[in-house]
Amino acid sequence: MAKTIRTYFHPRRQDVSQGQMLVELYDGALQYLRQARDQMVAQRYSARNMLLNCAIDIIEELAKSLDTRSGGDLAVKLNNLYLLCSSRLLRANQRMCLDDLDAVVAILKRLRAAYALFPGLEQKSQGSRVASE
């Protein structure tokens, strides 16, 4: 997990805003999920497991970044959504269920799109591959 998250928080990344960092975390999780789906279809169990765990690690980091004190009800709802995503990915991994994986991808894409709408992120997020997929 630490290596997965460390990729996004490397010191060279100090010029990136917190909002942009969140978008990049979503992008990373979505990339892992795309790859995990491919591995699931190809029945490569070990690779699928590793990729799903990387995506879950990122989702857990997103949940840890929530400020429930100042975020109030929204932060609580986001946390619950992240918990749902993690549990669905665990179930997808256990049951080889593409529907669960695809449902999490849909949720994360919507959340990523919402964060990308924040002022100052429009220009930076337009070039992302994940946003258009």
CB 88, CB 98: distance < 8 Å: no
Q: Convert the pLDDT of each residue in 26-47 to its tens digit.
A: 999 999 999 999 999 999 999 9
The pTM assigned to this predicted structure is: 0.80
Rounded to whole angstroms, how far apart are CA atoms 61 and 9?
11
* 2-6+18-115 CATH fold: Four Helix Bundle (Hemerythrin (Met), subunit A) (1.20.120)
**Tens-digit pLDDT profile for the chain (133 aa)?**
455 545 444 444 566 678 888 999 999 999 999 999 999 999 999 999 999 999 999 999 999 999 988 999 999 999 999 999 999 999 999 999 999 999 999 999 999 999 888 766 544 444 444 444 4
Domain boundaries, the chain: 2-6+18-115
CB 98, CB 34: distance < 8 Å: no
